[in-house]
Amino acid sequence: MAEDIESKTKRVRDLLSSFYADEDEHAQSSPTLTRRDTLQAINTKDFDADRYMTSLVRRTNLDGLLQKDVEMAAEIKNLDSDMQMLVYENYNKFISATDTIRRMKENIGGMESNVERLLEKVTAVRTKSDGVNASLFERRERIEELNGTRGLLRKVQFVFDLPVRLRKCLKAEVYADAVNSYKGALPILKAYGNTSFQKCKQESDEMIEKVTRQLQSRAVLSTETVENRAEAVRLLQELNYPVEQIMEEFLAGELERLSCTLKEILCLSGDGVFDAKTENHSPRSTIQILSKDFFTDFRQSASAFRGIFPTGEKKFTMAATKLFNDYLASIQKSLVPENGDPSAKGLITVLKILSTDVPQMDGVLPDADFSELALQAAEAALRQHVAKRFKGVCDKLLGIIIVANNSKFSESVEPCSDTEKPLESLLLNAEDIILQGSLDVLRDLKELVDDRVKDTTKWHSLYVELVQGGVQDLFVTLNTHFLDMFCSTGYENPKQDKFTEENKRKIAVSTGTILLLARFSMYVEKVAVPKITEEIARSFVGGGARGPEDRPAFIPTEICRLFRATGERLIEHYISMQSKRLSTLIKKSVTTPNWLKYKEPREVRMFVDLLLQEVGTMSREVKQLLDPGTVRTHGRSDSTGSAGSSRSNPLREERSGRTSVSQRARSRLLERDIAKLFKQKIEIFTKLEFTQTSVISTVIKLCLKSFQEYVRLETFSRSGFQQIQVDTQYLREALRDFVYDEAIVHFLLDEQSAVLIQPPLSLLF
């Protein structure tokens, strides 16, 4: 029942709202609107019933018209019933509204008289109030003047009492009251301090100076609490005292204290206070202690500074940045061991500590951007670590070169026995350093790749390029140093200070050092570079930080080419040095004597022993460092003499018949020259190889060739001719043990014998 009433009420409300809304809408519409012929416009003023009916009859058939009639009749009935119900339901409300309107009219009629009486009374009160104000005006002005005078007297009394008040506040250490009192009296003191209140001003200024000094002492005193120091700074600012100096002193003191903390821990680490056999001496322990103490003190200093100097954030940021740079430098210094090479474990520890502790400092000072500084320092530490590891390998190799070139070491090589091989020992050490040392460095550096530290993974390509570039620089540096030793007869000691006068002195390079470098270059090309390349390809994959257009950081083919060329040049230089030394000895032996007045030979000259001694020394050097190569056995022939020949055999032949010797020699030389036409051609200067036989044979060939040329330029008497023959015959037998093919020695000495019987060049021209 209630739902039916509610639905009916809603329908009536909608009908009424639609009716009044349509009426208002069409009332406000333009009069130029077209007349409507639809049923929806039935309630408008412009509705034309005849036109609507004509249109309806024209558009609708008979059944439709009948149906429309039925619908309209039903709708009319519904509207009538709704209107009746609306009137019945609101009848009481209409009656109540009428009664209310009637009562309102009655009340308004009596209210006008009351308002008129109220207005008359208000006017009378206002008149009396104006009279009272006029009578009290003079008294009020007098009272105001007296109040002003009283206030001024209080201020004057306050100014007179100010020194006493300041003294009491100073004694009681109530500095805030003293500052407030002084600030309150300051306008009067400024206006009349030089006249009426001169004495008060002087005493007040003296007392406030004492207060200022006390506040300064409290502000800089580290034993005071932060609150007291902050209050002291605030009061000084109220007194217009410049606190920048106090701020700078505070920052300087805190910086010094924190710097001392860094230095103390570094001194403990460097002086060996920790036991080297325990973990307390490890870089990890040192850096952890360093970071813990430093960050704790830094946070305390930051909190104290902000509490004391709220407006000094910019200066504190600058000071903190400088301090943080010192902290990073201290960490890097703690990573450098006193002995040995730096380890990647210590660097990993540093990176981990920085990745966890530096964000805490960023939380304290976000504007300082400590994380960026830490990243830059970490990158610099990575570069420094890689450079130091490879520099350590390079320094060890250069140390071996210095040892090999040492004069005492060179002297010890010459008389050594077959079992003592110092050059070979140095070569093995150098090979172990360049191969095993480089591999150890690469494995150490690989730990940084395997242990992915936070914020360092993005450096992977750069780090790989850095390691590969370090290997490339290591080999290029060694090759450059070898070439410097080759291009001059001396080199500069790399261990000396660049700014000392000793560095300008050249150190002579020994032949053993040159041969050692040549053999080492061959080892680098054939063994070291391929194995190191395999390790790099296995452990340091990636790179490409330089860009696709740039060349790779490590080019093994270029390194092999460089060391191959350097090795060839060094071995040629070694042969040149040895041949020049022997040629100098031969030249002195040929050009020094006066062959025209030479006495009959009794035995071979001393230079032959010296020459063989030099050849033996060279042979021992070569056999220590180079492979044997091709070894050929040599036979004996009647034309070259017997094994039992000695120094005295030619002398006995000379004593038996000197003229027959000369004739037989000429006959043998003639027969030998004729036999050469039918012998197979002998290659004297063959391709140089990195073998004992090739190097020794080449030096001896050059030596004999120079012997031949020096003999060609001299004129000999019969005794001189015989002496050269004796020396040649002795060398023929002695040099057979040093060369792989004795035919070459015989051929060169035969040519020398042929030169002896020819006229010298000086006579031909």
Which of the listed residues 89, 115, 142 is the one where a domain comes to its end?
Answer: 89
Length of the chain measured in residues: 765
> 627 has which bridge partners?
691
* pLDDT of residue 222 exceeding 80: no
Amino acid, single-letter form, for residue 340? G
User: Concatenated DSSP letters for 115-149?
Assistant: HHHHHHHHHHHHHHHHHHHHHHHHHHHHHHHHHHH
Report the mean per-residue pLDDT for the chain.
72
Structure tokens at 230: 């902050």
CA separation for the pair 246, 252 (Å, rounded) = 10
| Closest of 634, 638, 615 to residue 744, by C-alpha | 634
Amino acid, single-letter form, for residue 99? D
Which conformational region is residue 634 in: left (phi greater than 0), alpha (psi within -120 to 50 degrees), or beta? beta
Amino acid, single-letter form, for residue 525? E
* pLDDT of residue 96 exceeding 50: yes
* pLDDT of residue 171 exceeding 50: yes
Which of the listed residues 44, 64, 89 is the one where a domain comes to its end?
Answer: 89
Q: What is the pLDDT of residue 486?
A: 62
* pLDDT of residue 680 exceeding 50: no
Assigned domain for 591 exists: no
**Mean pLDDT confidence for 418-426:** 75
Q: Which residue has the tokens 């010192």?
A: 326
3-class secondary structure, 71? helix
Residues near 252 by beta carbon (within 8 Å), at least 6 away in sequence: none
Q: What is the pLDDT of residue 273?
A: 36
pLDDT in tens, 123-144: 888 888 888 888 888 888 888 8
Range of the domain at 36: 2-89
* pLDDT of residue 579 exceeding 60: yes
152 Cα distance to chain centroid: 72
428 and 329 within one domain: no
Percent of the chain with pLDDT over 90: 0
CA separation for the pair 307, 703 (Å, rounded) = 90
Which range, 187-191, 577-581, 603-607, has the best average confidence (pLDDT)?
A: 577-581
CA separation for the pair 167, 226 (Å, rounded) = 25
Which sign does the torsion angle of CA 464, 466, 469, 474 carry? negative
- Residue scoring higher pLDDT (47 or 336): 47
**Mean pLDDT confidence for 187-213:** 74
- Residue scoring higher pLDDT (315 or 532): 532
Q: Around 163, how many Cα atoms within 13 Å sit in the side-chain half-sphere? A: 12
Which range, 313-317, 469-473, 506-510, has the best average confidence (pLDDT)?
A: 469-473
| Closest of 354, 531, 548, 360 to residue 435, by C-alpha | 531
253 and 307 within one domain: yes
Q: How far is CA 79 from each of CA 17, 26, 88, 269, rounded to the nearest angstrom?
A: 14, 22, 14, 107
Structure tokens at 603: 């035995």
Assigned domain for 661 exists: yes
* pLDDT of residue 464 exceeding 60: yes
CA separation for the pair 102, 113 (Å, rounded) = 19
745 and 614 within one domain: yes
* pLDDT of residue 155 exceeding 60: yes
* pLDDT of residue 627 exceeding 50: yes
Assigned domain for 737 exists: yes
* pLDDT of residue 733 exceeding 80: no
Q: Backbone phi, then psi, for 642, in 5-degree steps?
A: -95, 165
Which conformational region is residue 14 in: left (phi greater than 0), alpha (psi within -120 to 50 degrees), or beta? alpha
Name the helix (H) or strand (E) containing 253: helix 244-270
Which range, 63-67, 364-368, 400-404, has the best average confidence (pLDDT)?
A: 63-67
553 and 686 within one domain: no
Rounded to 5, what percent of the chain is helix, strand, coil?
A: 75, 0, 20
* pLDDT of residue 162 exceeding 60: yes
3-class secondary structure, 490? strand
Q: Which residue has the tokens 């021992």?
A: 620
Q: What is the pLDDT of residue 761?
A: 47
> 491 has which bridge partners?
507
**Mean pLDDT confidence for 564-573:** 88
Q: What is the pLDDT of residue 360?
A: 67
Q: What is the pLDDT of residue 644?
A: 36
**Mean pLDDT confidence for 610-627:** 83
CA separation for the pair 693, 633 (Å, rounded) = 12
Assigned domain for 212 exists: yes
Q: Backbone phi, then psi, for 490, in 5-degree steps?
A: -145, 170
Amino acid, single-letter form, for residue 517? L
Give the CA radius of gyration of the chain: 59
519 and 435 within one domain: yes
**Mean pLDDT confidence for 461-469:** 81
* pLDDT of residue 335 exceeding 70: no
Assigned domain for 373 exists: no
CA separation for the pair 739, 745 (Å, rounded) = 8
What's 429-479 look like in SS3?
HHHHHHHHHHHHHHHHHHHHHHCCCCCCHHHHHHHHHHHHHHHHHHHHHHH
Using pLDDT thresholds of 50, 70 and 90, give the confidence band for residue 297.
confident
pLDDT in tens, 224-234: 777 888 888 88
pTM of the model as a whole:
0.57
CA separation for the pair 229, 239 (Å, rounded) = 15
83 and 102 within one domain: no
Residues near 613 by beta carbon (within 8 Å), at least 6 away in sequence: none
* pLDDT of residue 606 exceeding 70: yes
- Residue scoring higher pLDDT (119 or 290): 119
What's 534-560 look like in SS3?
HHHHHHCCCCCCCCCCCCCCCCHHHHH
Assigned domain for 697 exists: yes
Neighbours of 630 (CB within 10 A): 11
Q: What is the pLDDT of residue 406?
A: 74
62-66, 130-134, 304-308, 504-508: least confident range: 504-508
358 and 451 within one domain: no
111-115, 187-191, 229-233, 553-557: least confident range: 187-191
**Mean pLDDT confidence for 89-103:** 83
* pLDDT of residue 104 exceeding 50: yes
Q: What is the pLDDT of residue 274?
A: 38
Q: What is the pLDDT of residue 704?
A: 78
Structure tokens at 688: 């140089």
127 and 225 within one domain: yes
**Mean pLDDT confidence for 214-227:** 77
CA separation for the pair 436, 156 (Å, rounded) = 94
Residues near 356 by beta carbon (within 8 Å), at least 6 away in sequence: 454
| Angle 593-595-599 from CA coordinates, rounded to 5° | 95
122 and 60 within one domain: no
* pLDDT of residue 676 exceeding 60: no
* pLDDT of residue 487 exceeding 80: no
> 490 has which bridge partners?
508
pLDDT in tens, 655-675: 344 344 445 545 555 555 555
| Closest of 447, 312, 331, 438 to residue 378, by C-alpha | 331
Q: What is the pLDDT of residue 377?
A: 73
Amino acid, single-letter form, for residue 254? E
Q: What is the pLDDT of residue 645?
A: 39
CA separation for the pair 61, 55 (Å, rounded) = 12
* pLDDT of residue 492 exceeding 50: no
* pLDDT of residue 90 exceeding 60: yes
Name the helix (H) or strand (E) containing 507: strand 507-508
CA separation for the pair 492, 329 (Å, rounded) = 32
545 and 441 within one domain: yes
Paired sense of beta strands 490-491 and 507-508, if any: antiparallel
542 and 441 within one domain: yes
Q: What is the pLDDT of residue 505?
A: 47
User: Concatenated DSSP letters for 610-640?
Assistant: HHHHHHHHHHHHHHHHSB----------GGG
CA separation for the pair 433, 664 (Å, rounded) = 62
Q: What is the pLDDT of residue 670?
A: 54
Question: Total structural domains in the chain?
Answer: 5
Using pLDDT thresholds of 50, 70 and 90, give the confidence band for residue 413.
low
CA separation for the pair 267, 308 (Å, rounded) = 32
pLDDT in tens, 2-50: 566 667 666 666 665 665 554 444 444 444 444 445 666 677 777 788 8
CA separation for the pair 560, 528 (Å, rounded) = 10
The answer to whether the beta carbons of residues 468 and 536 sit under 8 Å apart is yes
CA separation for the pair 569, 370 (Å, rounded) = 53
Assigned domain for 755 exists: yes
The answer to whether the beta carbons of residues 378 and 456 sit under 8 Å apart is yes
Which of the listed residues 180, 215, 237 is the one where a domain comes to its end?
Answer: 237
3-class secondary structure, 491? strand
393 and 535 within one domain: yes
pLDDT in tens, 426-448: 888 888 888 888 888 888 888 77
CA separation for the pair 119, 258 (Å, rounded) = 85
The answer to whether the beta carbons of residues 11 and 82 sit under 8 Å apart is yes
**Mean pLDDT confidence for 318-341:** 69
CA separation for the pair 702, 611 (Å, rounded) = 13
Q: What is the pLDDT of residue 380?
A: 76
Assigned domain for 376 exists: no
3-class secondary structure, 157? helix
Q: Which residue has the tokens 């009160």?
A: 125
- Please report how the helices 718-734 and 742-756 are oriented relative to each other, as an axis angle in degrees rounded to 10: 180
CA separation for the pair 105, 120 (Å, rounded) = 24
